[in-house]
Amino acid sequence: MTAAATAKAPAGAPGRTTGPRADALAGTAVLVRFNLRRDRVRTSVWIAALLLGTLGTLSSLQSSYDTAAKRASAADSLDSPAGLALSGPAHYLNDYTYGAMLGHQLISFLGVLIALMSVLMVTRHTRTEEETGRAELLRATVVGRHAHLTAALLTAGLANLVLGLLTALGLGASGAAGVGWHGSLLFGAVYAATGIVFAAIAAVTVQFSQYSRGASGMALAALGAAFALRAVGDAGSGALSWLSPIGWGQRTYVYVDNRWWPLLLSCALAAAATALAYALSVRRDVGAGLRATRPGSPVASAGLLQPVGFALRLHLGMLIGFGTGLLLLGAMYGSVLSEVEKMIEDVAEVQESLEELGGASITESFASSVMTLLGVVAALYAVLAALRPQSEETAGRAEPLLATGLSRDRWLGSHLTVALAGGLGVLLLGGLGFGLAGAATTGDGELVVELTGAAMAYAPAVWFVVGVAVVLYGWLPRATVLSWVLPGYAFVVGYLGQLLGFADWLRDLSPLGHVPMLPAAELEWTPLVVLTLLAGALVACGLAGFRRRDLETK
């Protein structure tokens, strides 16, 4: 272990002779311990939540589907493009044991969260450190060129291995029918591999962007693409799923066939991405991105001098990211609409399902599920955008502005204007992408208007999310992290709720749950108007709180 051998160097003999390779890694072990120490609460919470989510799902499956007949009907209900896009490949459905259910439903859902944990962890320990200048301080000690990146990857790898091991032990020890030890080990390995792949992807993106926000944004875009590819692939022919690391995990057919070899793809991608990250990292300076910063305009344009124009400038990157992301996500789902229609013609059982759905067609119910997902992503944007003023404030950049003739209302109001309009805008783009691609593949031009309108019905719910974030920001700025509960809960309810059949009141707790499920359901104006009014009241309340409180200063 070169890293361990040189780890003592910062404290001890700096003059000790070590090879150039070891020098580049000097201090890695110390940094890993330091990372673990800094993250001890955060990572423990992540791992515990993911573990409990997995084991909790198993026990909920055991109580909900306690007979073979119920399990078979669960398999039937998921055997549609919408169901498969939400869960996983249809091969799991042949013998829908508890184990098959876990592999089918949980890998894509928790895989996203595991990847999120890994991306945030790697970004936090690399680019954030550089951005704040802390890395420079450490790099000036006996810490090698590759130490930060290596330590971040080792920290993330360790967290994922622990998560995988605990998951394997927990599932294996559960003794549930169809959940054997071999499958449980593979299941844990799928978790760990998914996390490690995205840690490696984040290691690449942190080389590109100078800002941690941009770096994690790029890695999360890759995650979104991985999720969408497997969703679209599983709803259709399955080919696209082979382009997705999450798809590889699902194609182990854990508890069904217990194939290990798809994980080789994950290992290969992780290794390749890691190698690329190291190669890129030596081509740039500490604190810099790969591309040199270009000079900009020496004077401000007229638009920038308006508070809203200024806020838009700050939000632009995020807005473009989410806008294109949703456009592509919508387009990917839209591109399989014709396959969904074909399925209706092929499958006889569909006629029954049609009646169950109260007259809505399979296409429409598929579209409604996609809308829920677009709504959740737009809600994520809403929280990020609504909390953007807070990052301005804590970074000390609000203070000079608020010391000018700009009132607090106008400053926060301009950010919120962008957040509210942006929420509508990203929904519009998502619906447009879905509608355009759907119209192109099915030849039904009316889909464009219909699906775009359906997506925009989520705007009041998204505004409500903005409102909640603003109230927290105005009154309890330390508690703004709670705003993430809304999109998180909406994801769980909208996603797992559809799979596990949650009770209606659980759905009603989410603002997104009140949005009519267009186009499958009828358009109802009342919930939309109520949500809009509530959002307006929440925003007003948040502004009032911000007017009254001290500015957070450094």
Partner 1 sequence: MMKATTAISVSGLTKSFGQTRALDGLDLRVGTGEVHGFLGPNGAGKSTTIRVLLGLLRSDRGAASVLGADPWQDAVALHRRLAYVPGDVELWPNLTGGEAIDLLAKLRGGLDRRRRDELIERFALDPAKKGRTYSKGNRQKVAIVAALASDAELLLLDEPTAGLDPLMEVVFQDVIGEARAAGKTVLLSSHILAQVEKLCDRVSIVRLGQVVQSGTLRELRHLTRTTVEAETASPVTGLDTLDGVHDVRVEGEDGLRVRFAVDGPHLDAAVRRLTDFGVRGLTSHPPTLEELMLRHYGDAPPSTTDGVGGTPGPARKASGGTDGPQDASHDTTGTTGTDRGDDTLGASR
Q: How far is CA 425 from the centre of its chain?
A: 19
Please say whether the beta carbons of 19 and 31 come within 8 A. no
Binds partner 1 (CB under 8 A): choice among 404, 478, 503, 525: 404
320 touches partner 1 (CB under 8 A): no
17 touches partner 1 (CB under 8 A): no
407 touches partner 1 (CB under 8 A): yes
By CB atoms closer than 10 A (0-12, 13-18, 19+), residue 534 is middle
Q: Looking only at residues 219 through 278 of this chain, which bind partner 1 when binding is defined by CB under 8 A?
A: none
Alpha helix (H) residue ranges in 336-456: 337-346, 350-356, 362-386, 388-394, 398-402, 408-442, 446-456
State the sign of the Cα–Cα–Cα–Cα dihedral 317, 319, 322, 327.
negative
Of 259 and 549, which CB lies nearer to partner 1 in the complex structure?
549
Q: How far apart are CA 468 and CA 452, in angstroms?
A: 25
Tokens of 294: 């270009």
Binds partner 1 (CB under 8 A): choice among 403, 446, 504, 505: 403
Q: How far is the CB of 305 from partner 1 (least distance, A)?
A: 4
Of 139 and 315, which CB lies nearer to partner 1 in the complex structure?
315
Q: What is the CA radius of gyration of the chain?
A: 24
Q: How far is the CB of 403 from partner 1 (least distance, A)?
A: 4
Of 286 and 344, which CB lies nearer to partner 1 in the complex structure?
286
The region of 63-71, 196-204, 252-260, 309-317 touching partner 1 under the rule CB under 8 A is 309-317
Of 402 and 424, which CB lies nearer to partner 1 in the complex structure?
402
395 touches partner 1 (CB under 8 A): yes
Q: How far is the CB of 213 from partner 1 (least distance, A)?
A: 10
Tokens of 59: 């026990």
Q: How far is the CB of 284 from partner 1 (least distance, A)?
A: 14
Collect all residues with Cβ–Cβ distance below 8 Å to 307 and sequence separation of at least 6: 406, 410, 411, 413, 414
Residue 282: other Cβ atoms inside 10 A: 10
Please say whether the beta carbons of 240 and 87 come within 8 A. no
The binding track of 275-304 with respect to partner 1, each residue x by CB under 8 A or -, is: ------------------xxxxxxxx---x
- Closest by alpha carbon to 524, among 533, 515, 532? 515
Q: How far is the CB of 479 from partner 1 (least distance, A)?
A: 16
405 touches partner 1 (CB under 8 A): yes
Of 276 and 286, which CB lies nearer to partner 1 in the complex structure?
286
553 touches partner 1 (CB under 8 A): yes
Torsions phi, psi of 230, nearest 5? -70, -35
Torsions phi, psi of 358, nearest 5? 70, 40
Q: How far is the CB of 306 from partner 1 (least distance, A)?
A: 9
Binds partner 1 (CB under 8 A): choice among 84, 153, 314, 378: 314
Q: How far is the CB of 218 from partner 1 (least distance, A)?
A: 16
Of 87 and 123, which CB lies nearer to partner 1 in the complex structure?
123
313 touches partner 1 (CB under 8 A): yes
**Residue 6 is inside which H or E element, if any?**
helix 2-6
Of 342 and 408, which CB lies nearer to partner 1 in the complex structure?
408
Binds partner 1 (CB under 8 A): choice among 177, 358, 397, 544: 397
Of 46 and 411, which CB lies nearer to partner 1 in the complex structure?
411
CA atoms within 13 Å, Cβ hemisphere of 538: 24
Binds partner 1 (CB under 8 A): choice among 310, 322, 366, 434: 310
Q: How far is the CB of 214 from partner 1 (least distance, A)?
A: 10
Please give the size of the binding site for partner 1, defined by CB under 8 A: 35
Please say whether the beta carbons of 251 and 242 come within 8 A. yes
By CB atoms closer than 10 A (0-12, 13-18, 19+), residue 430 is buried
Of 19 and 405, which CB lies nearer to partner 1 in the complex structure?
405
Phi-psi region of 133 (alpha: psi -120 to 50; beta: other; left: phi over 0): left
Please say whether the beta carbons of 85 and 231 come within 8 A. yes
Please say whether the beta carbons of 194 and 115 come within 8 A. yes
Q: How far apart are CA 217 and CA 287, in angstroms?
A: 18
Tokens of 497: 């709720």
208 touches partner 1 (CB under 8 A): no
Binds partner 1 (CB under 8 A): choice among 41, 69, 140, 305: 305
Q: How far is the CB of 127 from partner 1 (least distance, A)?
A: 13
Binds partner 1 (CB under 8 A): choice among 155, 210, 244, 274: 210
Of 395 and 544, which CB lies nearer to partner 1 in the complex structure?
395
Binds partner 1 (CB under 8 A): choice among 22, 90, 116, 402: 402
Give the three-class secondary structure for 120: helix
Q: How far apart are CA 539 and CA 535, in angstroms?
A: 6
Q: How far is the CB of 314 from partner 1 (least distance, A)?
A: 7
Of 5 and 286, which CB lies nearer to partner 1 in the complex structure?
286
Residue 395: other Cβ atoms inside 10 A: 11
Binds partner 1 (CB under 8 A): choice among 34, 208, 211, 242: 211
Helices (H) and strands (E) in the chain, counts: 28, 0
Q: Looking only at residues 468 through 497 of this chain, which bind partner 1 when binding is defined by CB under 8 A?
A: none
**Interface residues toward partner 1, by CB under 8 A:** 210-211, 293-300, 304-305, 307, 310, 313-314, 317, 395-397, 399-408, 548, 550-551, 553-554
